[in-house]
Amino acid sequence: MMLKVFNKDPHCMRDAIIVDNYEAAWDIICSMQQRLGKGILTVGRETWADLRLSEHFPNFVWADGVKAVYINSDKTLIIPAPSKYNRANVLKLIKFFGLHYSIREI
């Protein structure tokens, strides 16, 4: 299965990017956000303490089985990384962070 990732932000004119799977689609979205200066950070349990993120998210508790979380660059939003990257989970991440992307199967 091939996918096309579209940036729907009217201020960013870009061609669709073709990827092989939903995990690659999410990686592309994260890299595009990084270039826009609005990065989404991937943080593992071991990095959590190093970055002192509990100061920003004092109520966050690591659930069993969660290996990483995604955090916006402003450190105002946090969501556990999915264990599986499928259409539903990637669309949930896009919606959670309020991003302007769509993914189409081709």
Q: Give tens-digit pLDDT for 84-103.
A: 999 999 999 999 999 999 99
Contact 19, 28 (CB under 8 A): yes
Averaged pLDDT for residues 32-45: 92
Output the pLDDT for position 11: 72
Sheet containing 17-19: give its strands across: 17-19, 3-7, 101-105
Task: Indicate if the pLDDT at residue 67 is higher than 90.
Answer: yes
DSSP symbols for 38-84? --EEEEEHHHHHHTTGGGT-TT--PPTT--EEEEETTS--EEEPPSS
Task: Indicate if the pLDDT at residue 1 is higher than 90.
Answer: no
Q: What is the mean pLDDT of the chain?
A: 93
* Predicted TM-score (pTM) above 0.75: yes
Task: Indicate if the pLDDT at residue 24 is higher than 70.
Answer: yes
Output the pLDDT for position 21: 98
Residue 69's nearest CA partner among 60, 77, 61, 78 is: 78
